[in-house]
Amino acid sequence: MLKLALTPRWLAGLLLALLLATGFMLLSQWQLDSASSGQIHEDPAKEVVEPLEGKVQALEPVLASEADSMVETTGAYVPDSTVLVANRVNEGTSGYWVVTRFVPEGQAPVASTDSEIADPDATYSVGVARGFVEDPEAAAAYDEPAGRVTLAGRLIANEAPVASNLVDEASEGSSSGMGEPTVLGAAATAQLTNLWDAPLYSGLVTANAEVPAGSPLPLDEQGRLDDDAALAAPAEGLETIRADQVTDESMDWLNIFYALEWVVFAGFALYLWWRMLADSYQRRAHPEKFYEIVPAREGRFFYEEQTGRYFYYDAEAEQYFYFDEPEPAASEPAAARSEQSPNPERK
């Protein structure tokens, strides 16, 4: 069968099968890449504290490449602006975020809504989640630090507004210091900008460290925040929010199944070539398995009892040939052809 496989016809067939198998394997690799394309891996560069203004711009969304970055900014908290965000989990405990309006320094004036003229008294603010509490009724006691503060924390992406059934209608005046803090269902700047009546950056910052303006933040040599960083007073009872980078190591098993299918197709392409080669060889060696043999001299096919081999008559060559032997070349001597041909007279 090896001799038959090395003929030009079957070598060309093998080349075609290899090309098909290669294409199927490339498709399998593409499916494997797609299975992990949605994964999100931890980025060590995001742990280095950088200025807030370099990560997020006014009127621009927080992209996935910027979210979860550690940032710092200097400014002041707005008094009596604290609200709560429900449905938060901190180290396995359910509770609320204590979110306060923070106005960073060094901003360009905000253009007026009625014209392109800048309003020197209007600046963009950012919502800062100063800490985590389990009891919403005790949140009113956690006042924000007074004066200029430098804070560092993790920038988180904006969330869609969600209605909360914990909102106390009597607390709608909490932004002016009246009643209990308002409870929101999500950390959504769309809701916060309406409550505070102020333009906001997209996204919030979870505070991990606060120091008086002008004092250095507790950073290590790589520019990362130390583990012992703390909030400025008053912060008794506030738990630090441990917001880690959002990661996703899951695989899409449907793509993996498709990748396995393409591997099977690649193997089938090679098997099909081998199966066709084996059938062709068997057809030459044992034609009785593939043809319906008629009685001797009653059709094109004949049986030689002495050798147990089948042969046929080629009218064009005027010669008899065995099925399991190749047809002799035209240049071969007639004597040689007659020696190879069966002798019907022996029957």
pLDDT at 197: 86
From residue 17, alpha-carbon distances to 11, 29, 93, 260, 284 in Å are 10, 18, 59, 18, 23
For residue 235, the model assigns a pLDDT of 63
Q: How far apart are CA 111 and CA 108, in angstroms?
A: 9
Tell me the pLDDT band of 342, cut-offs 50, 70 and 90.
Answer: low
Over residues 329-340, the pLDDT tens digits come to 555 554 555 555
3-state helix, strand, coil in the chain (%, to 5): 30, 25, 45
User: d(Cα 84, Cα 95) in Å, to the nearest integer?
Assistant: 10
Compute the average pLDDT of residues 129-147: 77
Q: Is the pTM of this model over 0.85?
A: no
Q: Residue 293: is its pLDDT beyond 70?
A: no
